Amino acid sequence: MKQIVIVLLAGLLMLSCEQPKEKTETKKKAEFAIVIHGGAGYMRRAGMSKEREIEYRKKLAEVLKVGYKILEDGGSSLDAVEKVINTMEDSPMFNSGKGAVFTGEGKNELDASIMNGENLEAGAVAGVTIVKNPVSLARLVMEKSPHVLLARDGAEKFAEMQNVELVEPEYFYTEDAWNALQRAKESELKKTDEDQSALHDFYDSKFGTVGCVALDKNGNLAAGTSTGGMTNKKWGRIGDSPIIGAGTYANNKTCGVSSTGHGEFFIRYAAAYDISALMEYKNMTVSEAADFVVNVKLKNAGGNGGVIAMDKYGNVAMPFNTTGMFRGYVKNGEEPVVKVFADE
Ligand code: ASP
């Protein structure tokens, strides 16, 4: 009897000492924070020169600094998101603004969006060809028009009215993006009709969409995304990046999200909104929700890519189901974190 009591007591003691399941999320609010991505894809250590890797890491750190300064000075999360994305749009290293990928017709057609988590206002543009910084035009759509999404010539007419910086289409050209189109066309020619459905192989080689989520000192979240879409895209294809709820979403109640990956899947699974909804209705943390959408729902469906997400406390999630994603974040008073490959 005595032995049974001892065993029971020992069991109870063990139970009470059991560690709670580790939660990396905190409810202690970061004063401000910012998270960025420069696209997810099948990058491999062996396939990227050390110089190129260092160049990307340097650029991501530089971009984080731009956002940090704005937020530190009391700027809004919307300002931080816009300026951070502008910096990446201006760099030929990413598939957005200068450096955007080419359509099957050899053009650059750019998509972008931005959302304000404070009031759920949003703006987006699709298929623009002469707007230097599409995310800034998306912000103007949100703030200066009664609409959410403007496309093509209409969006460009609106851009002219708003005096945004316009450029010649050639401005966006880079040799890398042009060569990627030639390669995509060659492999398309080699494919049988059956293989054409595997056109989403496009995703193997090109990445570089950009996105940002920021939390400002007033506790407001904002998110934005900007891209050239997919190499060799056809028939006026528009991806997830300008679709609110797919490529971008922000709600102070839950989180901000920017997606990158095979856009058709992100649209069909309403990926960015789904993360917010899982937090709102299922009480998931931002990491649980983002991980479930990217590594369960999208992955099972065959949707390649990843997201960056941040909740109102500044907790960051950066899941992806490819081999890498250019990504980074920084919170007030902390050192910036920059990562490229999956194993870091
Ligand atoms: N999501 C983008 C699109 O499908 C592409 C990307 O993120 O790489 O247009």
CATH of the domain at 232: 3.60.20.30
Q: Which atom of ligand 1 is nearest to the CA of 238?
A: 9
What letter does residue 71 receive in the DSSP assignment?
H
Residue given tokens 């399941």 in the structure block: 21
Report the predicted TM-score, pTM, of the whole model to 2 decimal places: 0.90
> 232 in ligand 1 pocket by Cβ < 6 Å?
no
In a domain, 7, yes or no: no
Indicate if 254 belongs to the active site. no
State the closest ligand 1 atom to the C-alpha of 239, by its place in the atom list counted from 1: 9
**Residue 67 resides in a domain:** yes
Task: Tell me how far apart the alpha carbons of residues 317 and 220 are, in angstroms, rounded to a whole number.
Answer: 17
Substitution candidate for ligand 1 out of 113, 201, 202, 240 with most atoms within 8 A of CB: 240
Give a yes or no: residue 321 inside a domain. yes
Residue 18 located in a structural domain:
no
209, 225, 260, 322: the catalytic one is: 209
How remote is the CA of residue 102 from the centroid of ligand 1, in Å? Answer: 13
* Ligand 1 pocket check for 211: Cβ under 6 Å: no
Q: Whole-angstrom Cα distance, residue 34 to residue 315?
A: 10
CB-count exposure of residue 165 (10 Å: 0-12, 13-18, 19+): exposed
Ligand 1 atom closest to residue 229's alpha carbon, by position in its atom list: 9
- Any domain includes 199: yes
Range(s) of the domain holding residue 79: 36-341
How much is the pLDDT for 21?
39
* Residue 16 forms part of a structural domain: no
Please state the domain count of the chain: 1
Distance CA 245, CA 276 (A): 9
Largest CA distance in the chain: 89
pLDDT of amino acid 217: 97
Q: Ligand 1: distance of its center to the CA of 40 in Å?
A: 9
Residue 241 Cβ contacting ligand 1 at under 6 Å: yes
Please report whether residue 19 resides in a domain: no
User: Measured in angstroms, how far is the CA atom of residue 305 from the centroid of ligand 1?
Assistant: 8
Determine phi and psi for 42, rounding to 5 degrees: -95, 60
Ligand 1 geometric centre to CA of 39 (Å)? 8
pLDDT at 342: 94
Residue 21 forms part of a structural domain = no
Q: What are φ and ψ of residue 102, in 5° steps?
A: -100, 145
pLDDT along the chain (344 residues), means of 10: 48 41 65 97 85 95 98 98 98 97 97 98 98 98 98 98 98 95 86 51 64 98 98 96 98 98 97 98 98 98 97 98 96 96 93
42-78 per-position pLDDT tens digit? 888 888 889 999 999 999 999 999 999 999 999 999 9
**Within the chain, where are the H helices?**
2-17, 50-72, 77-89, 134-144, 152-161, 175-190, 193-196, 263-268, 271-282, 286-292, 299-301
